[in-house]
A and B are shown apart, each in its own frame.
Chain A
Amino acid sequence: MEKLIRIEPSKCIGCKSCELACSFKHRGEFAPSKARIVNAVFVEEAQFITVTCMQCDEPWCLKACPKGAIAKDAATGVVTVDELKCVGCRTCVSACPFGMIKYLPETRKADKCTLCAPDVPECVIFCPTHCLTFSEEDTPLRGKVMRFVQTMKEGQGEV
């Protein structure tokens, strides 16, 4: 099965360690503007949201690429850009509805999350609260289901 970065927003503290870890690993410097993962903070609404590439089953970026530079690994599911084939045309940037692939001026290539394959994603390693996990199972979904189950269970006890 494919492993993905699983995100549990309720555990996020808005520290942006994910952005720092990502850019340090892939760009060699701490530069959130170059990170592949984005952590947004909304203090007034008490909401912290983290987004990254979800390695689509049918990636818009892959379909849009005129050079065949983007591929999805059949085994891991990771969607990667082949820098030797990428010509920096940015068609993929336009195609991705989530803004999760971008053009990097310093490499003149498209850049996106690769789950740090074959390693564990660096953002997951440096997430202090386990808001980010790396697993086959969709653990945040499972958590939500189990909370619902608990509610139903408590309701049954009342009957």
Chain B
Amino acid sequence: MKNGWNGKVLRVNLSTRTCAIEDLNMAWAREYLGGRGLGSKYLTEEVAPETDPLSPDNKLILVTGPLTGTYGAANGRYMAVTKSPLTGTIASSNSGGYFPNELKFAGFDLVIIEGKADRPVYLKIHNQRAEVADATHLWGKSTNETEDMILREFHADAKVACIGPAGEKLVRFACIVNDKHRAAGRSGVGAVMGSKYLKAVAVRGTGGVGVADAPAFREAARETFRMLRSHPVTAEGLPALGTAVLMNVINQSGALPTRNFQSGTFEGAEEISGERLAQTYLKRNKGCMGCVIGCGRVTALSDPRWSGNGEGPEYETLWALGAACGIADLAAITKANYLCNEYGMDTITAGSTVACAMELYQQGLVTEAETGIPLTFGSGEALVRMFELIGTGEGFGARLGLGSWGLAESYGVPELSMTVKKLEFPAYDGRGIQGMALEYATSNRGACHVRGYMVSPEILGVPEKLDPQVTEGKAGWTKAFQDFTAVVDSAGICLFTTFAIGAPQVTNLLNTATGLNLSQDQVLAAGERVWNLERVFNLKAGISPSQDTLPPRLLQEPLPDGPMKGEVAKLGAMLPDYYRVRGWDEGGVPTAEKLATLGLV
């Protein structure tokens, strides 16, 4: 086909070791586009909401978008869609690199993995040939070693997505690492892979991705290219300093969560900033395939205590491993970041879980007898040691591997877990950015910044500046950001492009690629459809609207310092309004009318 999609699905049953090629359901593709939307549609059709996430009945869907594999808007993205073992919600974890494109070049739009192997295996895809191969020799290996071994034995030009030891040990926040340094990070999608004894997916594709109207698509891509190359965030901030350009910005806003959200400013922010990284370990900038931005940081660590090389740390990582733990030791953070990639675990949840453990230690609930090392806020050595324990599942690491909710609950203090729906917050304090508080409370995968990045208007002033402490109108903004983000996540392009491009450009790219003639409203409706589909799945999975909330610390404990001193998250002032603009009833349940409008009944 020449319309962005390949029109092919690879279905792999690990229990029977069979691979089958199916036609893509084009009706679903037109309604849900691809990526997060299409993956969620397949998942919700095929997996019962009450399914145990780590059972063979859960499925793992690796899904690209119609724009994945093309150019102009950082189009090297895919989604890992499954039911999360960390939260019990629907999970869609995004990653970029070269693996997503290779899946398209091999001729597939998505891979559905079901069942469970009886011993370690990996999936080999060479164009339209796929086989389930033995992976006994790969089990226990780091993500780096795994990829190197697969490239040697399968194909030097293959692209690999795999789990590390954390995924094998079912660490609830294990991620899937592709191209060695990129991760489908959040919600524990790597643990689902581990539960199926699936070590890796390796792809070699020599085909191509066609589009419906080549000259028009090229023009659309030229437009996005020019916009991305001229916007201050995508052409200057992100290339110069990577995502860590945010460290000083957010700290100065008074919304940098510090020491497990005990405060909103970090005295060591400068030491862990993008500026400092550029002065120390940064080797060069890197993009994913088809990227116009190049926010990736290729780094090499040289420190008397540790060495290594790879990509990152990114902003969220610098925060979770840094400010959240009170750590201003960039070498320790960089080392711990490499460990996360090699063990295959989400840096945000890993860092936040250690931050939670540090507060438990501070309160005397956790002792050195358990941890083997003083778990004091600020200790880089303790951070690195804890990550080693989590990755290998040894000692105290087994408890940390449950995530901060599981950890704090086991000590009887779940309120010290800085989570929504059991997913740890990223690097913005909702008390300092009210729209983010609402986004966290309502995101379908828990406390997540990349479902509706209200930081953009509230802090960065893109597309226009909003007062971060005003609650009025934030519901509408949050809904608009959430719906548009769902489109971007489904199209197969990078979320960072949306600093510079908007719905008109994404609509244009989608139409010229797919041959559809969608209006901008129809495209945004697709995003709203995805949002409601996820919501309905979560409700059926037992995630009640009462969980659209925040930890007591954010709702009741005012920020003690900084420009946002005295503020709490004013969720109560926004949530009813949010339900209303969503077309849901007062209890947060989508109305039959809304679902009918979206074609969801």
Chain A residues with CB under 8 Å of chain B are: 10, 13-17, 20-21, 23-24, 27-34, 41, 43-44, 46, 48, 125-126, 128-129
Contacts and interface: CB of A to CB of B under 8 A. Distances in A.
Contacts of B206: 31, 33-34
B209 A15 contact: no
Given A15-B294, A126-B225, A31 B208 contact: yes
A15 B311 contact: no
B294 A43 contact: no
B563 interface: no
Contacts of B72: 126
Contact of B288 (A10, A15, A28): A15
B17 interface: no
A46 B2 contact: no
B214 A24 contact: yes
Interface in B509-540: none
A31 B289 contact: no
B209 to A, nearest CB: 4
A128 B294 contact: yes
Interface stretch (B278-286, B325-333, B350-358): B278-286
B286 A33 contact: no
A39 B98 CA distance: 12
B289 A33 contact: no
B290 interface: yes
B287 to A, nearest CB: 4
B298 interface: yes
A93 B180 CA distance: 33
B34 interface: no
Contact of A29 (B208, B289, B293, B294): B208
Contacts of B288: 15
Contacts of B311: 43
B300 interface: yes
B445 to A, nearest CB: 28
Contact of B209 (A16, A21, A30, A44): A30
Interface in B188-218: 205-210, 214, 218
A114 to B, nearest CB: 18
A30 B296 contact: no
B298 A15 contact: no
B126 interface: no
- Which of A10, A21, A125: most chain B Cβ within 10 A? A21
Nearest 4 interchain pairs by C-beta:
A31-B208, A29-B208, A15-B287, A46-B283
Contact of B292 (A32, A46, A128): A128
A70 B311 CA distance: 44
Interface of B: 2, 69-72, 76, 98, 101, 105, 180-181, 205-210, 214, 218, 221-222, 225, 228-229, 283-294, 296, 298, 300, 309-311
Given A16-B290, A17-B292, 17 more contacts: A10-B284, A13-B291, A20-B69, A20-B70, A21-B71, A24-B214, A29-B210, A31-B105, A32-B105, A33-B206, A33-B207, A41-B98, A46-B284, A46-B300, A48-B286, A126-B72, A129-B294
Contacts of B293: 128
A20 B221 CA distance: 12
A19 to B, nearest CB: 9
7 contacts: A13-B284, A13-B294, A15-B287, A16-B98, A43-B309, A126-B71, A128-B294
Contact of A13 (B70, B205, B287): B287
Given A43-B310, A128-B294, A13 B207 contact: no
B286 A128 contact: no
B221 to A, nearest CB: 8
Given A46-B284, A126-B225, A17 B214 contact: no
Given A13-B291, A43-B180, A29 B284 contact: no
Contacts of B70: 20, 24, 30
A52 B14 CA distance: 42
Contacts of A48: 284, 286
A35 to B, nearest CB: 10
B388 to A, nearest CB: 22
Given A46-B298, A128-B225, A30 B69 contact: yes
Nearest to A39: B289
A103 to B, nearest CB: 14
B214 A28 contact: yes
Nearest to B283: A46
Given A24-B218, A43-B180, A44-B309, A13 B286 contact: yes
A96 B387 CA distance: 50
B287 A23 contact: no
A72 B396 CA distance: 69
Contact of A27 (B208, B229, B283, B287): B208
A34 B208 contact: yes
A132 B310 CA distance: 25
B286 A20 contact: no
Contacts of A44: 309-310
B284 A15 contact: no
A10 B285 CA distance: 10
Given A15-B287, A43-B310, A128 B105 contact: no
A15 B291 contact: yes
Nearest to B214: A28
B289 A15 contact: yes
A34 B221 CA distance: 20
A17 B72 CA distance: 8
A30 B217 CA distance: 12
Contacts of A16: 98, 289-290
A158 B292 CA distance: 41
A23 B69 CA distance: 12
Contacts of A27: 208
Contacts of A43: 180-181, 286, 298, 309-311
Nearest to B221: A126
